[in-house]
Chains A and B, each alone.
Chain A
Amino acid sequence: MENILECRALTKTYGYRTALSNLDIAIPRGRIVGLLGPNGSGKTTLIKLACGLLTPTAGQILIDGKAPGLESKAIVSYLPERSYLNNWMCIQELIRFFQDFYQDFQPEVAYDMLQRLNIDPRDRLKNLSKGTKEKVQLILVMSRRAQLYLLDEPIGGVDPATRDYILHTIIGNYNENSTVILSTHLIADVEQILDDVIFLSNGKILMASPVDEIRERQGKSVDDLFREVFKC
């Protein structure tokens, strides 16, 4: 299967509100894709649909050619916007927890990243700062050998040095078989690590293009283009 993620006329409504409307997307393997858009444009809804946490109102979303389910969860690593981890657990326990849940989890990778970021594995989650909690969660997600990483705002809450480290981790983790989709507002920070960007606006695709094509055609960065398109 060439495309790791495909949406066909994907629509999601919450009551009278349309979150995503008639989306067609095809994302191949081996890409790093930025999901960009203002607040409420449908980024998180799209990611949740891909994880199987939400079901489409109409249309289809396919992971490696199949609807989200048990099989897709084994190959998708998801970083939610909010933490779902148990606050009373210490990091070591969380690592064992992930090892139990995911066959592709690599504890040695997790311990290595913890060390690089000076985080003590014996610490309990509830005693950590907000930023450190986010780091731990991202470490757990990136320590899987998944085929699709769905990262909802992975760098929003961390300091610039950690941001660099995270972006390096994403690049270092790159292989032709896996794709990373990340949503963010911090476009300038991630722009140079992205292959493609998808601009969402009011649940529709405003633009889907390789980063260098935008720079070539528009003579400006994706960040500048975003500010122009979504000017308030």
Chain B
Amino acid sequence: MEWTFQPDRPIYAQLVEQIQLGIVSGRYPAGSRLPSVRELAAEASVNPNTMQKALAELERSGLLHTQRTSGRFITEDQEMIETVRNNLAYEQIHKFLENMRKLGFDPAETMALMEKAAKEEY
């Protein structure tokens, strides 16, 4: 997985998002064991404390849970994963609509363009 960071937001928040993305995309399958903090920190080239903070946040949200001796696991709750997936999609859409607004397209015009573009892809 490519880990990339934007300069304008906290690193831990971006780690949370990218791990969420890893879970909804199936890179980290439901019910499987997540690599250790140390491994993930090394992979993402980030401070281990920052990675720890991101994982704690994901644990609070219920997406991850700790099994006392064997590490951190991804939830088996498909419904929860689906909700996260939808939330991530909404975020993308809102960002996109905002950018289209800057170009002077209202949502209806954007929709029309979207349909045209989607047809052209096939």
Q: Report the Cα distance A192→B41, complex, angstroms.
A: 10
Q: Closest residue to B50 on the A side, CB-wise?
A: A212
User: Interface residues of A: mostly helix, strand, loop or mixed?
Assistant: helix
Q: Closest residue to A215 on the B side, CB-wise?
A: B10
Stretch at the interface among B1-9, B23-31, B96-104: B1-9
Contacts of A164 in B (CB 8 A): 45
Please tell me if the beta carbons of B10 and A212 are within 8 angstroms of each other in the complex.
yes
Q: Closest residue to B39 on the A side, CB-wise?
A: A172
Contacts of A215 in B (CB 8 A): 7-11
Contacts of B42 in A (CB 8 A): 168, 171-172
Q: Closest residue to B5 on the A side, CB-wise?
A: A192
| Given A171-B42, A172-B42, A192-B5: A30 in contact with B49 (beta carbons within 8 A) | yes
Contacts of A106 in B (CB 8 A): none
Q: Closest residue to A193 on the B side, CB-wise?
A: B47
Q: How far is the CB of A221 from chain B (nearest CB, A)?
A: 4
Interface bits A136-156 vs B (CB < 8 Å: 1, else 0):
000000000000000000000
Q: Is A32 an interface residue (CB 8 A)?
A: yes
Q: Is A219 an interface residue (CB 8 A)?
A: yes
We find that the number of chain A residues with CB closer than 8 angstroms to chain B is: 23
Please tell me if the beta carbons of A171 and B48 are within 8 angstroms of each other in the complex.
yes
Contacts of B53 in A (CB 8 A): 212
Q: Report the Cα distance A30→B47, complex, angstroms.
A: 11
Partner of A193, one of B8, B10, B12, B45: B45
Please tell me if the beta carbons of A221 and B49 are within 8 angstroms of each other in the complex.
no
Q: Is A195 an interface residue (CB 8 A)?
A: yes
Give A27-81 interface residues, CB cut-off 8 Å to B: 30-32
Please tell me if the beta carbons of A221 and B8 are within 8 angstroms of each other in the complex.
yes
Q: Is A167 an interface residue (CB 8 A)?
A: yes
Interface bits B26-40 vs A (CB < 8 Å: 1, else 0):
000000000000100
Contacts of B7 in A (CB 8 A): 215, 220-221, 223-224
Interface residues of B (CB under 8 A from A): 5, 7-13, 38, 41-42, 45-50, 53
